[in-house]
A and B are shown apart, each in its own frame.
Chain A
Amino acid sequence: DAEITQSPRHKITETGRQVTLACHQTWNHNNMFWYRQDLGHGLRLIHYSYGVHDTNKGEVSDGYSVSRSNTEDLPLTLESAASSQTSVYFCASSGGGVAGDTQYFGPGTRLTVL
């Protein structure tokens, strides 16, 4: 069955370190998204991509970057982790054929920055 996976599921790192969170989908979806979930803020969009080599900033992109070298993967990099980036991170994908396509989410990565 097609799916979307994230790794690692849990990560503890130190302030200032570079961290990369992986997202892999096997639906062959064009669109991929990264969100962070924090108490009181719901889900906020970090970055998104509508296809290979396409990346765009979302609402809370400062301190994060993404690159899309193939259809299946959209890794999220924290260039220099900060305690404010402690959060649960979700990756999602959608087919991209029409606006308002349903997004399907990965299981999430819980990141703690000490």
Chain B
Amino acid sequence: AQKVTQAQTEISVVEKEDVTLDCVYETRDTTYYLFWYKQPPSGELVFLIRRNSFDEQNEISGRYSWNFQKSTSSFNFTITASQVVDSAVYFCALGGDNAGNMLTFGGGTRLMVKP
């Protein structure tokens, strides 16, 4: 069975602070895929990133960066110099070769960025 844990249910920061959202996963698949989605206050779910288990390179996209560490089964998400527009619920998700096309989602982390 697959499992995704986002231990931080809520984080509050002040604008311009850096913040890291944690994601820990469990899977028995040797090939698997990790995702992050953003859910802003408007409610839609926005895809941010997909990584496969063979690519452990960290990724940076503007103020967003992702740190994938197989040794600790973690796929953490860092926002540098946070902005009010980053306020949202962020979901980490896991898919695997033996899960077909299904994804298992973590419970989400609500990030509040205060001006």
A42-B91, A100-B96 known; A48-B43 Cβ under 8 A: no
Q: When the two chains form their complex, are residues A99 and B43 in contact, meaning their CB atoms are under 8 A apart?
A: no
Interface of B, helix, strand, loop or mixed by DSSP: mixed
Contact of A31 with B101 in the complex, beta carbons under 8 Å: yes
Give the nearest-CB partner of B95 in chain A. A100
Name the one of A40, A48, A88, A105 contacting B102, with C-beta atoms under 8 angstroms: A48
* Interface bracket on B: 20 to 34
B12 part of interface (Cβ distance < 8 Å): no
Given A107-B44, A108-B44, A102-B35 contact (CB < 8 Å): yes
Q: In the bound complex, what is the Cα–Cα distance between A39 and B95 (angstroms)?
A: 22
Q: Which of B31, B44, B101, B106 contacts A105 (CB 8 A)?
A: B44
Q: A52–B107 Cα gap in the complex (Å)?
A: 31
Residue A79 interfacial (CB < 8 Å): no
Interface size class of A (residues with CB under 8 A): 20 to 34
| A103–B91 CA distance with the chains assembled, in angstroms | 13
| Contact mask for chain A residues 32-76; partner B; CB cutoff 8 A; 1 contact, 0 none | 010100001111110010100000001000000000000000000
- A90 partner residues in chain B, CB cutoff 8 A: 45
0 or 1 for each of B83-109: is its CB under 8 Å from A? (1 = yes)? 000000001000111111111011110
Say yes or no: A102 contacts B43, CB within 8 Å: no
Q: Which residue of A lies closest to B47 (CB)?
A: A102
Residues B107 and A96 in contact, CB atoms below 8 Å apart: no
Chain B residues near A99: list those with CB within 8 A. Answer: 31, 33, 95-101
A100 & B52 in contact (Cβ 8 Å cutoff): yes
Which residues of B pack against A, CB within 8 Å?
A: 31-33, 35, 37, 43-45, 47, 50, 52, 91, 95-103, 105-108
In order of increasing CB-CB distance, the 6 nearest A-B pairs are A100-B33, A100-B95, A105-B45, A42-B107, A43-B105, A42-B105
